[in-house]
Amino acid sequence: MPMAAAPPLPDDLDAPPHWAEGGGIEVLPRIFEDAITLAVLRRPLSSDLLAGALAQMRAKRPLSFSWRGAPGDALRADLLATLHAPGVSGPLVEDIATLAEAMAFLFDTDSVGLRLRVLDAPMCPRFHCDNLPVRLVTTYLGPGSEWLPETAVNRDGLGAPRPDKPPIVTEDGAIRRLEAGDVALLKGSGWVGNETRGLVHRSPALEAGQPRLLMSIDPA
């Protein structure tokens, strides 16, 4: 995967950071550290990859691709058969397949569940944590997912909204956002030992005419 330099995320003042970020693939296995609930590979997107992503956004039929199985040639073939403008989408297909294979290798699984969608509205607009062990997310175009440092979360506010629930965000200006191209592993409450510390995150708000191309991968 390409390397990219990026400014470090600021540390919280009251606790060690529970996230790791960097421009090399070696940052992703840090998700196995007990203290880490977010690992982010910062990377730029090549012009060829962006061309394939833009082709998905410009098509009249919204893209919604779901797939489960062993990553490899079958995934590549299904992507090429489904994506719009397959003639320019080869680099996008290869990037998706590479990330799926990396996910399977990292979590020692034979299969993964993958979703690739063009979204024109927030999918999960309320802050929440996933009830699963881990998920890979990357946004190819549009704003990235938003997340909260643990020191800015009131977990009593999570779950279905009710009038008596407190606000989830406890610090003004605490909300962080992933950038387009970033590859992030989000640890959920289904990770053994992390039941009360799943990363709190949400989908970003989208302006009119600002769609988003999002991919997620789960170990299956």
Write out pLDDT tens, residues 37-96.
Answer: 999 999 999 999 999 999 999 888 889 999 999 999 999 999 999 999 999 999 999 999
The pLDDT of residue 210:
81
The pLDDT of residue 60:
83
Q: Tell me if 64 is assigned to some domain.
A: yes
Average pLDDT in the chain: 92
Query: What is this structure's pTM?
Result: 0.90
Kindly tell me the sign of the dihedral angle through the C-alpha atoms of 110, 189, 145, 162. Answer: positive
Q: Tell me if 18 is assigned to some domain.
A: no
Residues lower than pLDDT 70 in the chain: 1-15, 122
The pLDDT of residue 59:
85
Residue-range definition of the domain harbouring residue 57: 36-219
Q: Tell me if 20 is assigned to some domain.
A: no
The pLDDT of residue 121:
73
The pLDDT of residue 123:
76
Q: Tell me if 22 is assigned to some domain.
A: no
Q: Tell me if 138 is assigned to some domain.
A: yes
Q: Tell me if 9 is assigned to some domain.
A: no
**CATH number of residue 45's parent domain:** 2.60.120.10
Residue 62 makes CB contacts below 8 A (sequence gap 6+) with 117, 118, 120
How many domains are there within the chain? 1
Quote the crossing angle between the two packed helices 90-106 and 47-58, to the nearest 10°: 100
The pLDDT of residue 209:
74
